[in-house]
Amino acid sequence: MRILLIHQYFLEKGDGGGSRFNEMTKVWANQGHHVDVLAGMVHYNTGKKQKRYKGRFTYNDEQFYKNVNVIRCHVSESYNVSFLGRLWAYFSFVFSSIYAGIFKTRGKYDVIIVTSPPLFVGITAYVLSLIKRVPFVFEIRDLWPESAIDTGVLKNGMIIKFAYWFEKFIYKKAKLINVLTPAFRDKLIQDKKVPEEKVIFIPNAADFSLAEKTQEGFDAKSFKKELGFSGKFVITYVGAHGVANHLIQLIEAAKELRDTNVVFQLIGAGMQKKTLQKEVKENKLSNVIFRDSVSKQEVFKYILASDAGASVLKKVDTFKTIYSNKTFDYMSCKKPILLAIDGVSRKLINDAECGIYVEPENIDEIVKGVKKLVAKSEKEINEMGDNGYVFAKTHFDRDVLAKEYIKQIQAKI
């Protein structure tokens, strides 16, 4: 198949962050499919452009991988400045990606796949599907605008009204809609009245090939010692430091745990990071360590040298419907999980018996959950990690699910 993928946040090689489609496109390419990607120039965590993009409206990264070509499209660097700045960043990508899709792509495509959020990438998909006369698959990684409304990011009534109208419009025009959790599927079918036959389910997943490759010849204990964590119980969080992630709850827990051997290691970037760092500095917390974003392979080294992984989000109803990417990374590295996300994520770790759930934003519960983990024996910690690994390997293997994605598309378009 020839596939046009529209993904504003498709990562650079070596970038840290959610790499779902970076990994899936490699699987597709290895199957013999050809993929062109319309991607943004700004990383969703940092909001910054690399130097080679400055002054460019589009930039071709041909042969990004074998059979995968990436066309970087302009995104305003106002992304992390304010809500209006982020909104402009969304629409600047819409304009630049439509231009790139018309003038920078070549040949006939069999399908367009577009992944959201932001919801407005659907505009690009719809326009290009009309021009190129090819069906498009709309993927929902996060329910939008609900998540933006619940977290307080989206407040303007007119924009909310437009977002809901456009959401309904794009669901109607899409040939297929892929959802990442069972809760998304139920929401679309029951509440939004999307025909059941239109909805497919290819969830987030674990990249076992990269996890296993990272472990080859890697001495996790030595790396932990090198980081200065000897004798510490290290809980690592990997991902965005934004409003939705609400990492202040880990900082507040760290205050209560400052006299223990627990260390929180926060890896990533985002618009709340400076505020979090200021809080840590003002409270003289030596048990919270911040690190910049690193490549996925480097991230796995930090996870492997940790005792547990943390998956946390703001306490809002919309987040009860999601699986967190980082949870699968921890599972693939055989690490138990401290989970502060209710709903389907809670059911996931309970079914897998691979972690401890704590109520989001309940600092006392988070502290108790951490202490429960610390009190466990090395054997119990290893058993929880092994449970998560086996469960994810059985149900959430990236390679298997990437192939199933293509199989479903071929069968239904």
What confidence tens digit (pLDDT) does each residue in 196-211 have?
Answer: 999 999 998 888 877 8
Quick one: 90 and 227 in the same domain?
no
Region 360-378 average pLDDT: 97
Q: How many CB atoms lie within 10 A of CB 94?
A: 20
My answer on whether 212 and 188 are in the same domain is no
CA distances to 27, 149, 179, 321, 409 from 189, in Å: 30, 21, 11, 14, 19
Ranges 13-22, 115-124, 262-271, 398-407: which has the least confidence: 13-22
Q: Are residues 174 and 287 in the same domain?
A: no
Q: Does a cis peptide bond (omega within 30 degrees of 0) precede residue 203? A: no
Q: Residue 145 carries which side chain, given as an amino acid letter?
A: P
Mean pLDDT, residues 125-147: 93
Report how far Cα 254 is from the mean position of its chain's Cα atoms. 25
Residues paired with residue 59 on neighbouring β-strands, in sequence order: 72
Which pLDDT does position 197 carry in this prediction? Answer: 95
- Give the mean pLDDT of 99-127: 95
Same domain assignment for residues 217 and 191: no
Structural tokens at position 282: 């003002």
Confidence band, pLDDT 50/70/90 cuts, at residue 18 = low
Q: Please indicate, yes or no, whether residues 245 and 390 belong to a single structural domain of this protein.
A: yes
- 306 and 269 co-located in one domain: yes
What pLDDT score does 39 carry? 96
Other CB atoms closer than 10 Å to residue 107's CB: what's the count?
Answer: 9
The mean per-residue pLDDT over the stretch 355-362 comes to: 98
Q: What is the reported pLDDT for 142?
A: 86
User: Is 80 exceeded by the pLDDT of residue 47?
Assistant: no
Answer yes or no: is pLDDT of 46 > 70: no
pLDDT(64) > 80:
no
pLDDT in tens, 375-397: 999 999 999 999 999 999 999 99
For the ranges 14-28, 51-65, 211-225, 330-344, the maximum mean pLDDT occurs at 330-344
The maximal CA–CA distance of the chain, rounded, in angstroms, is 63
Q: Provide the number of structural domains found in the chain.
A: 2
Q: What phi, psi does 39 have (nearest 5°)? A: -125, 160
Over residues 170-189, the mean pLDDT reads 94
- Averaged pLDDT score across all residues of the chain: 92
Least-confidence region, from 18-27, 99-108, 208-217, 382-391: 208-217
74 and 123, same domain (yes or no): yes
222-261 burial: b if 16+ Cβ within 10 Å, else e:
eebeebebeebbbbbbbbbbbbbbbbbbbbbbbebbeeee
Output the pLDDT for position 146: 84
If asked whether residues 135 and 221 sit together in one domain, one would say no
Asked if pLDDT for residue 1 goes beyond 70, the answer is yes
Cβ-Cβ contacts under 8 Å for 299 (sequence gap 6 or more): 16, 238, 267, 329
Domain shared by 158 and 261, yes or no: no
User: Given this model, what pLDDT does residue 295 score?
Assistant: 84
Q: Are residues 246 and 106 in the same domain?
A: no
Over residues 310-327, the mean pLDDT reads 92
Contact 35, 67 (CB under 8 A): yes
Dist. CA 171–CA 100, nearest whole Å: 24
Cα torsion angle, 385, 390, 392, 398, sign: positive
Predicted local confidence at residue 51, as pLDDT: 86
Give me the mean pLDDT over the 245-265 stretch.
97
Q: How many residues are recorded in the chain?
A: 413
Using one digit for the tens of pLDDT, what is the confidence trace for 66-103? 889 999 999 988 766 676 777 888 899 999 999 999 99
**pLDDT value at residue 171:** 96
* Full residue range of the structural domain in which residue 158 is found: 2-205+397-412
Band of residue 349 on the pLDDT scale cut at 50, 70, 90: very high
CATH number for the domain harbouring residue 272:
3.40.50.2000
| Predicted local confidence at residue 20, as pLDDT | 86
246 versus 204: which is more confidently predicted?
A: 246
Q: Are residues 84 and 103 in the same domain?
A: yes
The answer on 273 and 157 residing in a single domain is: no
Is omega for the bond preceding 118 within 30 degrees of 0, making it cis?
Answer: yes
